């Protein structure tokens, strides 16, 4: 059902957790649908210096969250905004069709975290 890469990320998720003094936080999905994720970012010199995720959801939801943190880490904010859902799915060796829209929200969470950072830039959080 899932690719080896998906299972590997599900089993050993990268960057799982929260950043207490995060510069931006993005949350997407909701528990009613069965998928919800939160992305915390730390920004330095316009780059994603640190990133952490927390996810409630199926194997695909957890693996895509883990993958998006890997893809985004070290990237400029502009580059990170360009990471899309299909990039995440492709990097994982594909996702089952039924999971493509319901559990592939990780890129959205990343974008929400960046937007949150942009909105609050310059203000003390």
Partner 1 sequence: MFLSEENMPKAKRIYMDHAAGRAVDARVIKAMSPYMASLRGNPSSVHSFGQEAKQALEEARTKVAELINAESKESIFFTSGATESNNMAIKGVAHRNQHQGRHIITSSIEHMSVLNPCKFLTTKGFKVTFLPVDQYGFVDLTNLEEELTSETILVSIMYANGEIGTIQPIQKISQMVHRKKAYLHVDATAANGQVPIDVSNEGIDLLTISSNDVYGPKGVGALYIKKGVRLEPLIHGGGQERGIRSGTENILGIVGFGKAVEISRAEMFTESERLKKLRDRLIKGLVGRIPHSSLNGHPSKRLPNNAAVRYSFIEGESILLDLDMKGVAASSGSACTAKTLEPSHVLRAIGLKHEEAHGSLLFTLGRRNTEEEVDYVIRIMPEIVERLREMSPLTPKELIE
**Residues acting as catalytic residues:** 33, 102
Phi and psi for 50 in degrees, rounded to 5?
Answer: -145, 150
51 lies in the site for partner 1, by CB under 8 A: no
34 lies in the site for partner 1, by CB under 8 A: yes
Radius of gyration of the chain (CA): 14
Task: Please report which residue ranges of the chain form alpha helices under DSSP H.
Answer: 4-11, 59-72, 77-81, 85-91, 99-102, 106-120
Residue 21 or 45: the one with the smaller Cβ distance to partner 1 is: 21
Stretch that binds partner 1, among 36-44, 67-75, 84-92, 117-125 (CB under 8 A): 36-44
Residue 36 or 71: the one with the smaller Cβ distance to partner 1 is: 36
11 lies in the site for partner 1, by CB under 8 A: yes
**Residues comprising the chain, all counted:** 125
Nearest alpha-carbon partner for 41 in 12, 77, 66, 91: 77
Binding region for partner 1 (CB under 8 A): 2, 7, 10-13, 16, 27, 31-38, 54-62, 98-99, 102-103
């Amino acid at each position: 059902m899932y690719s080896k890469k998906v299972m590997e990320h599900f089993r050993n998720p990268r960057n799982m957790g929260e950043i207490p003094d995060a510069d931006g936080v993005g949350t997407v999905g909701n528990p009613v649908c069965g998928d919800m994720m939160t992305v915390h970012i730390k920004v330095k010199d316009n780059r994603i210096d640190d990133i952490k995720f927390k996810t409630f959801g199926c194997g695909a939801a957890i693996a895509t969250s883990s993958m998006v943190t890997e893809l985004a880490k070290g990237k400029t904010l502009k580059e990170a905004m360009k990471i899309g859902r299909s990039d995440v799915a492709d990097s994982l060796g594909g996702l089952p069709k039924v999971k493509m829209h319901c559990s592939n929200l990780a890129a959205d969470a990343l974008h929400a975290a960046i937007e949150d950072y942009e909105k609050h830039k310059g203000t003390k959080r």
